[in-house]
A and B are shown apart, each in its own frame.
Chain A
């Protein structure tokens, strides 16, 4: 079994990371009743004997002693990380996994990337190497960060390059939170576009998510749960936001529910690699199947069902609804409409009591309403994991490599250009050593090239499937 290391950078990255570890513990506690340290748990946790000081004390078999997250927590402020260390999850981390500063990046990508990047490079690398050494077979780094700020965006993407140089064979999956258009950080378009160039060049897969979509999904769940229309049949806790049974007792902050959605995304993404199933999907299969060209590695995700009904027996109709919803635009974790755009590839990762025939029936049913690129008319990848999410019978994560991400990128470019034309706030960046105007022009042309690639694919949308002449052989 392989292991993964989570690298959570900046305020947003650490908050989501915190939810992730909370839910990951809850999930493994529910599956693993005996408290034996097994391979499934080992994918995200080390088992450590805390009585042993120093680097020893790692236990590979037997009873769970003390679980430590395979994580590196990085922030250039102390607030969030300190809060985690004082909270219920404090025992999951130790001080060797943390890097903090006190000054913050001031919402400036250049400060995060250039200043803190080089300042903390050695220290970070040492911690990353240490976490890698603890793994038996390290397969993947999960980087969680936001695009709009300074630390997550700047330092997070700096680390991406460091990881690529240091661990070229380990996959880099990036969960990036994109700023919404009513974002309160004025410089967020600059930060996002500068970060995008790094994502283009150094990530294997990016899961773009925007806060607005998460917020809309929460409102939708609240509406159904509280509307009273279905009150007798709807479970009060939603699948994707619930933290029932987790260490944190209440959802104190409004962001908690939103962060839980992202945490659940990561859990479902890795479930088939961690648990048994009749059709496994390892993490390396994700990029193999969903990334036809190296740059086009942005995957739009959706989680369904958003809420579950109380009765346990699922009529096929409701199961089918779960599949239909995964393609509707209100369920995407980024504002995008995959149904009316072009699919390059699509993965359906199912958990729980669902069989291959359910999967096939729904693919057949949905296929006519979706448009796939001419050379990948059957671009479906599927997996069946037998372990459902905690407290639920089944769930679906859909990943789409679809041209519907383009509008988000275009809007970002527009907002960037609006600022850049006036050279607004530019001096904050240019005074940082190593930053030049060319950094901005190169970043924007990198993004434009990406948009252009999506445009070219979109242009093939209404054209008939070409019949390419085959090789002819002499008989």
Chain B
């Protein structure tokens, strides 16, 4: 089954490119460390999910690019075309001349409705290319105006038009400070709207990824491209094919469905986070060997510390909510095929209290600003009123409380 990726705004488009590039290079890497048959199955599965074939043989990403400003889209399209290995569809993008100016309201209430038909048509064309559709993967940031505002609008439309397909939103959580001043407003509006229309929100925090670049990858001067590559690596590690049990001959066919089935047990809890090991610089990679025990132990410590190692470590009921059995709450999917440049690697996707703290922070900061009515005129100008903010606050306070009370 295939996934249609929708990449929105500057952030969404930059990351989307890196994701496809990572998926492609991984599936065509010569370091798979597995049998030829295995490798072919892996490649075929990856391709079914993310690429369609054109006559001249260059795979085309199953992606739709949306931005309200042409610079980033032009750059992304030409980067992909220049790679010579894969590219984006010729008509699979939509852009305008003037961005949303960091204003969620402008993206959601002005750009969204104005370009609804064009954007949905492009998405439909992409969907028609798939033999069977697993769902949508929507990459966006929540700080700006286009990714967040139009992202929320498009997700809502997808929910209306493709009610039975799954929608997973990849959300880039902004740095605590320093990107966009109204990011907390934009974030609460985005999150509250997505909570109503999306099936799962896979969250990446810029601060956390920045730390990975600095500490694990040992990068001195960190650029956005470094950050996006780490993100793409993590996403790739989850979306590449795996087996759900020993001795199976077929890769799991419905990646989004599998993830949701296992990770989103209740509509109140939709926020997923992702951890992946190992991640290190090329230099240290040459001197490292990996054992499964070590990796899993490490991964488990990242989830919560102190316990036994190996897979057994994840079977401790204390890790999970009382209304789920560990057997139901925890699943392992594997493949022989190595991912990217690592001989062995493991990723953990969890629906946990991990994100409740940053969420609580953002709601708190936005609330503080809201109390002084600062910047509200910029939103009411485009039809987002105080009541809309209050609705968003109410919904998110509910989410925070639910996660805290687990």
Binding site for B on A (CB under 8 A): 1-2, 39, 136-137, 139, 276, 278-280, 282-285, 287-294, 345, 355-360, 363, 367, 374-382, 384, 468, 470-473, 475
Contact = CB atoms under 8 A, between A and B. Distances in A.
A376 B374 contact: yes
Contact of B214 (A278, A293, A357, A374): A357
A289 B181 contact: yes
Nearest to A136: B97
A278 B98 contact: no
Interface in B325-369: 363-365, 367-369
B303 to A, nearest CB: 25
B368 A356 contact: no
A278 B223 contact: yes
Contact of B181 (A39, A363, A381, A468): A381
Given A381-B180, A471-B367, A375 B374 contact: yes
A238 to B, nearest CB: 26
B406 to A, nearest CB: 11
A376 B378 CA distance: 16
B374 A289 contact: no
Which of B10, B177, B393, B398 has its CB near the most chain A CB atoms (within 10 A)? B177
Given A288-B103, A360-B175, A377-B365, 17 more contacts: A278-B223, A280-B10, A280-B72, A284-B100, A284-B103, A289-B182, A356-B227, A357-B219, A360-B210, A363-B178, A381-B178, A381-B179, A468-B368, A470-B363, A470-B367, A473-B394, A473-B397
Contact of A292 (B177, B213, B221, B374): B374
A379 B178 CA distance: 7
Interface residues of B, number: 54
B304 interface: no
A356 B222 contact: yes
A37 to B, nearest CB: 15
B118 interface: no
B236 interface: no
Given A355-B221, A355-B222, A473-B394, A285 B369 contact: no
A292 B223 contact: no
A375 to B, nearest CB: 4
B99 interface: yes
A468 B370 CA distance: 10
B393 A380 contact: no
B223 A280 contact: no
Given A376-B369, A378-B178, A471-B397, A358 B101 contact: no
A377 B182 CA distance: 12
Contacts of B182: 288-289
Contacts of A2: 97-98
Given A139-B98, A471-B394, A357 B221 contact: yes
A374 B365 CA distance: 10
B394 A345 contact: no
B71 interface: yes
B401 interface: yes
What are the 4 closest A-B residue pairs judged by CB atoms, nearest first?
A: A284-B101, A378-B177, A357-B222, A137-B97
B101 to A, nearest CB: 3
Nearest to B105: A288
7 contacts: A280-B69, A284-B102, A293-B377, A355-B221, A356-B227, A357-B214, A475-B405
